[in-house]
């Protein structure tokens, strides 16, 4: 048999198609009913009175004022028959964080109800500026309008600033004052009573023992504060001996002795 006749006699096997088994009407109907039943069951459980919020527990920062605590309770008021799963906890957290004194807010859901946890910004100084006296934290963010007799150091700057939660003024003067305050704790028992930054961004501070320290321009402020700390460590009664200390240049220190004419002399 020739090759031509062999090729003509041979033919490929017929193609086989895998047919999917047809689902019966009963199985489709059963599956559809199961989905509908599950959805209705979920909706019934979701709206069940057993899942209504019954209690709201508040964990508030002890530094918050009575008015601030009241504002949190008012913001977290829950209407009767409010479902616990449906309560918009994220929205409440966002609303609480809009308050200037709030550092963080967290809403947790439990078996019985909600727990509202709010932490407050820690006031570090009283800022006196264009917006009036405001308590600010160590980052310069607004906390609350200044309360009387807080014992916080006073910061005076020329800054156009209007309080906004979590924001601070873009001010070189305030930046310099915050550097001073961040290193004020190294002075030992002596505290910084006030920091002033004038229009020329010249900085000076007053200590709790009435020593006026002139720091000059904000260059090398950390070094100047370190030098002041070393002077106090050597002479804790520095403020009783001196009325003015000039640290504008670390290479040439001068002072005015207390009770003497206002004449500077080198140290």
The fourth-level CATH superfamily of domain 50-120 is membrane protein fhac (3.10.20.310)
- 197 has a pLDDT exceeding 60: yes
CATH number given to 125-266: 3.40.50.11690
Per-residue pLDDT, averaged over 52-76, amounts to: 90
Q: Could you give the 3-state DSSP secondary structure of residue 168? A: coil
pLDDT band for position 163 (cuts 50, 70, 90): confident
Q: Are strands 55-60 and 242-246 parallel, antiparallel or unpaired?
A: unpaired
193-218: average pLDDT = 94
| pLDDT at residue number 41 | 46
- Domain borders along the chain are 50-120, 125-266
Mean pLDDT of the chain: 82
- The values of phi and psi at residue 90, to 5°, are -65, -40
**Quick one: pLDDT band at residue 35, thresholds 50, 70, 90?**
low
Q: Grade residue 152 by pLDDT with cuts at 50, 70 and 90.
A: very high
Res 188: pLDDT? 84
- 133: pLDDT strictly greater than 80: yes
| Same CATH fold assignment for domains 50-120 and 125-266 | no
Q: How far is CA 106 from CA 54, 67, 109, 165, 246, in A?
A: 19, 20, 10, 17, 48
Higher pLDDT pick, 171 / 208 = 208
Distance, in Å, from the CA atom of 263 to the CA atom of 265, rounded to the nearest integer, reads 6
pLDDT at 181: 94
C-alpha distances out from residue 49 to 53, 110, 114, Å: 9, 15, 16
């Amino acid at each position: 048999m020739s090759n031509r006749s062999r090729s003509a006699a041979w033919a490929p096997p017929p193609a086989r198609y895998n047919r999917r088994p047809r689902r019966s009407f009963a199985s489709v109907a059963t599956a559809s009913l199961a989905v509908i039943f599950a959805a209705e069951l979920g909706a019934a459980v979701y709206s069940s009175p057993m899942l209504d919020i019954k209690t709201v527990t508040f964990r508030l920062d002890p530094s918050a004022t009575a008015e601030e605590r009241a504002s949190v309770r008012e913001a977290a008021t829950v209407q009767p028959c409010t479902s616990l799963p449906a309560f918009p906890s994220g929205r409440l957290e966002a609303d609480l964080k809009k308050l200037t004194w709030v550092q963080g807010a967290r809403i947790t859901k439990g078996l019985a109800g909600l727990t509202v946890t709010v932490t407050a910004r820690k006031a570090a100084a009283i800022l006196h500026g264009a917006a009036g006296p405001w308590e600010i934290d160590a980052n310069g963010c607004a906390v609350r309008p200044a309360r009387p007799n807080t014992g916080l150091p006073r910061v005076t700057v020329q800054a156009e600033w209007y309080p906004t939660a979590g924001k601070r003024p873009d001010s070189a003067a305030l930046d310099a004052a915050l550097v001073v305050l961040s290193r004020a704790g190294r002075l030992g028992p002596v505290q910084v009573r006030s920091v002033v930054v004038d229009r020329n961004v010249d900085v000076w501070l007053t200590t709790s023992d009435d020593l006026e320290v002139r720091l000059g321009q904000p260059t090398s402020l950390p070094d100047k504060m370190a030098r002041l700390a070393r002077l106090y460590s050597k002479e804790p009664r520095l403020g009783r001996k001196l009325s003015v200390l000039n640290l504008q240049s670390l290479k040439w220190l001068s002072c005015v002795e207390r009770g003497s004419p206002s004449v500077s002399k080198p140290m």
